[in-house]
């Protein structure tokens, strides 16, 4: 089996060439309705294929939200498999937003599903939850290294409830989120031009200067667009780490469908605004 170039290197090149933007594929029932599609597998397939056709050849990253496919059972998962395949064939990196987190053989099985080269749902990276302990992610870390894939670990999420766990302080006096960032920095030590193990850090969180975001890895940043953050906010939120930020936009682009040209125009506009904000910082 041919091992891919490490995810971090591939992501760095994609962001430099296409602009640092991730577009979510989030087929909410409300968006299907807005597009004039039925809330069924046929509507899901039309939605997903349209997004891939519109932007997979121009954005650095596409991020399908697995839950919105899984809700349709095996038919929805089949659509997800095809969407991943077609997005990667068009040159986009695929981050599977599945937020898996478990222990032992179960975590290893999740890693096999999403990170094993040749698996039907193989993706360039996977979102994972470390809240059974960072060490529980080892099977996913090992599989990612083996296949040239990456991980995005939940660290500082934008939902209000996240703080009760992520801001908790451990026996060593360090907050949980800070501990996760430190563990990721250790995973990425010495990697060039960018490590493959990133963190999820919300773009809506305001001043994060009390956290060391320089983990030598990517920072997946949801919250641009419908959730209220703008590309111009990125330098203030992420500081010196802003060049490694991968801002995620979902509804801000998807609401322009089903017109392919309108989707492309929206994605291009966000990509240019992000590039301008990052390079000006």
Q: What's the first-to-final CA gap in the chain, in angstroms?
A: 41
Rounded Cα gap, residues 139 and 277, in angstroms: 37
CB-side exposure of 198: number of CA atoms within 13 Å?
Answer: 30
260, 53 in Cβ contact below 8 A? yes
Alpha helix ranges (H) inside the chain: 7-18, 29-34, 41-55, 66-70, 74-89, 104-115, 138-147, 163-166, 176-187, 234-238, 251-254, 260-280
217, 187 in Cβ contact below 8 A? yes
DSSP structure class, residue 65:
B
Catalytic residue among 82, 99, 117, 138: 99
Among this protein's residues, is 99 annotated catalytic?
yes
Rounded Cα gap, residues 269 and 252, in angstroms: 11
Catalytic center residues: 99
């Amino acid at each position: 089996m041919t091992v891919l170039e490490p995810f971090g290197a591939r992501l760095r090149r994609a962001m430099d060439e296409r602009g640092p933007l991730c577009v979510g594929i989030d087929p909410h029932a409300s968006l299907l309705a807005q597009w004039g599609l039925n809330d069924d597998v046929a509507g899901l397939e039309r939605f997903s294929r349209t997004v891939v056709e519109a932007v997979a050849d121009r954005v650095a990253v596409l991020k399908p939200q697995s839950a919105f496919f899984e809700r349709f059972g095996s038919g929805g998962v089949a659509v997800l498999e095809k969407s991943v395949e077609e997005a990667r064939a068009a040159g986009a990196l695929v981050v599977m937003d599945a937020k898996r987190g478990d222990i032992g053989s179960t975590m290893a099985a999740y890693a096999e599903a999403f990170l094993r080269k040749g698996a039907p749902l193989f993706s360039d990276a996977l979102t994972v939850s470390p809240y059974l302990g960072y060490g529980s992610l080892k099977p996913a870390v090992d599989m990612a290294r083996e296949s040239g894939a990456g991980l995005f670990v939940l660290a500082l999420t934008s939902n209000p409830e996240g703080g009760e766990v992520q801001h908790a302080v451990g026996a060593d006096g360090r907050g949980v989120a800070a501990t996760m960032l430190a563990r990721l920095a250790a995973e990425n030590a010495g990697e060039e031009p960018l490590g493959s193990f990133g963190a999820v850090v919300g773009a809506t969180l305001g001043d994060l200067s009390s956290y060391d975001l320089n983990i030598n890895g990517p920072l997946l940043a949801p919250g641009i667009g419908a959730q209220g953050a703008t590309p111009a906010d990125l330098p203030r939120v992420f500081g010196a780490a802003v060049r490694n930020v991968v801002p995620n936009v979902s509804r801000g682009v998807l609401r322009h469908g089903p017109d392919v040209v309108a989707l492309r125009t929206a994605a291009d506009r966000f990509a240019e605004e992000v590039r301008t904000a990052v390079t000006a910082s």
